[in-house]
Amino acid sequence: MSGLAAPAGEAAWHDVECASYVADLPLWRELCAEHPGAVLDLGCGTGRVALDLARLGHGVTAIDAEATLVAALADRARAEGLGVRALAGDARSLSLDGAFALAIAPMQVVQLLGGPRGRRSMLASVRDHLAPGGVAAIALADPFDAVPAGDAAPPLPDVLERDGWVLSSTPLAVRDQGDAVAIDRRRQAVSPTGELTEEVATILLDTVGRSRLEAEAAQAGLRALAPRRVPATRDYVASTIVMLEAAA
């Protein structure tokens, strides 16, 4: 990634591929209203959800394993005068002060944990950080969204212009690998002088459905509630939001 890292960086590519997604924001706002108190945002990235909730006055602790993404979020929170607590950390082994009324894992965060063992560790860690009666809301997405793998068409490119650079990320293929789905994307960066650099990046999403995640959550002491749903958009598949409650 040497040709792209200097002008773009992981924070910029995260913005290109994730920042434009807003279909789930009304649900996170609704859940915050239903479960008032401290909010834990798992896999926060550069702050797409955390900043939105903080602007509405919610107290948010935001966690991501990528320190560069957390740093970008912290900078943005400071620039807006928002009190987001942004921390680099692994959702599978959290050690935070206090208890949370609501923990959220937007987009496909739970599908990036390396399979069942990683999910179980994350669920146990979240359970330890929920207040009695607290709720975890975890998004699951199927990249094929009920479309057979051979018929799945990738969405349109995501494009962002920043400091004279034009960054684009184009999905090339969605490949079913049994226990995971591989999504190949071509990342291109055009410099202010017109120089083009590119690479292919592959994202692996664990294949897991609602019933399996709920069963794993039960082993961690979390009770399944009625799920929620985020509808599909032109560029993004729908998501099922698995709702889990800590025993009071």
Is 3 inside a domain boundary? no
Structure confidence at residue 44 (pLDDT): 97
Number of domains in the chain: 2
- Decide if pLDDT at 32 tops 90: yes
CA 195/CA 215 separation, integer angstroms: 51
Shared domain for 212 and 198, answered yes or no, is no
Shared domain for 177 and 213, answered yes or no, is no
Percent of the chain with pLDDT over 90: 70
Please give the model's pTM, rounded to 2 decimal places.
0.89
- Decide if pLDDT at 7 tops 60: no
CA 22 to chain CA mean position, Å: 12
Is 39 inside a domain boundary? yes
Shared domain for 68 and 116, answered yes or no, is yes
Shared domain for 111 and 133, answered yes or no, is yes
Shared domain for 118 and 193, answered yes or no, is no
Structure tokens at 48: 């797409």
pLDDT in tens, 63-95: 999 999 999 999 999 999 999 999 999 999 999
Shared domain for 126 and 232, answered yes or no, is yes
Residue 55, Ramachandran bin (φ over 0: left; ψ between -120 and 50: alpha; else beta): alpha
Shared domain for 126 and 213, answered yes or no, is yes
CA 155/CA 17 separation, integer angstroms: 11
Least confident of 60-64, 70-74, 166-170, 225-229: 166-170
What SS3 class is residue 152?
coil
pLDDT in tens, 200-219: 999 899 999 999 999 999 99
Q: What range does the domain containing 67 cover?
A: 8-143+208-246
For residue 69, the one-letter residue type is L
- Decide if pLDDT at 1 tops 70: no
C-alpha pair distances (Å), 240 with each of 86, 168, 192, 230: 26, 28, 40, 6
Shared domain for 60 and 104, answered yes or no, is yes
Shared domain for 30 and 62, answered yes or no, is yes
CA 4/CA 221 separation, integer angstroms: 44
Average pLDDT score over residue span 96-123: 95
Shared domain for 168 and 133, answered yes or no, is no
